[in-house]
A and B are shown apart, each in its own frame.
Chain A
Amino acid sequence: MSFRAAVITFPGSNCDRDMARALEAVSGDKALSVWHGDTDLPERLDFIALPGGFSYGDYLRAGAMAANSPIMRAVAAQAERGVPVLGVCNGFQVLTESELLPGALMRNASQRFICRTAALTVGNTSSIFTDGFEPGERLRVPIAHHDGNYFADEDTLDRLEGDDRVAFRYLDNQNGSRRDIAGVLSANGRVLGMMPHPERAIEPVAHPAMGGADGRRLFENVMQALTSA
């Protein structure tokens, strides 16, 4: 079975090729690339990825302009149909700005751009993205962002935790995120937004600072779930 994934490129996206390469490395199939101004997505998609970067130069707020670009209406429609959507870094910001996920990503509490490998713990283990992980399992995944400080009001945070929608938490929270949240799921579990970059942790590289392969498992989880469905 071929895996039909689309990677959306906005003006200013800069992790779209990494994402496409990661998807191809794990699935063996070339990812389709879609431009933000397109109004339609390719048919019969198995997966949609919103990559990292600085769409529209982060004008107004990170992700705000991209959230209102034509292709996002199509992405929202597919998400509603249950097509898995992964937003990483700027992609997560686009998902919150388009209200496919709750909350907002604010400037890091330190005011500093943070670029390092983050230690994460796995929260939810029942979604299509996370069902191959063990609860509480530790992962090492690179982060690189200026606006990764996850904010939501207390009621929303309680609801996210109560409904098991926190996918990942930081072990060492450096950006100020409420309740150490690094990644959240939609109510139906088919949309995941996360600041860490799984697409940068696809293959074990000689140097331990180079990301490792923990991110690969997230993509493997999705492919496994889709092929066994």
Chain B
Amino acid sequence: MNVRITVRLKPGVLDPQGRAVHHSLDGLGFDGVEDVRIGRIIDMQVADGTGEDTLRKMCEQLLANTVIEDYAIEIVDTAKAPA
């Protein structure tokens, strides 16, 4: 099955990258941009039936640094149920 993990900085954690991009958008003349925050999308193909617990462990141990980042797990599509 296909899983999408979205990792983003926690609210309140300064995002210097987002701030620089915000500044560039202003410089290009795009008005009305109020905030820019940059995150990361990790698309994975995992064995059918991989549990949410396992996916959560992957996030906690490696994919996200929970000191500064939040993560969200989204099952994009599940393959057919096993025969």
Contact = CB atoms under 8 A, between A and B. Distances in A.
Interface of A: 60-61, 64, 68, 96-97, 102-104, 106-111, 149, 151-153, 176
Nearest to B61: A68
B20 A68 contact: no
16 contacts: A60-B63, A97-B65, A102-B67, A104-B67, A104-B68, A106-B13, A107-B16, A107-B17, A108-B16, A109-B16, A111-B16, A111-B17, A111-B19, A149-B14, A151-B13, A153-B67
The DSSP consensus for interface residues of chain A is loop
A42 to B, nearest CB: 27
Contacts, number: 37
B62 A152 contact: no
Contacts of B62: 60, 64, 68
A61 B14 contact: no
Contacts of A149: 14, 16
Nearest to B14: A109
Q: How large is the interface on B (under 10, 10 to 19, 20 to 34, 35 or more residues)?
A: 10 to 19
A149 B20 CA distance: 16
Contacts of A108: 16
Contacts of A176: 14, 16
A108 B61 CA distance: 24
B16 A103 contact: no
B16 A151 contact: no
A111 B68 contact: no
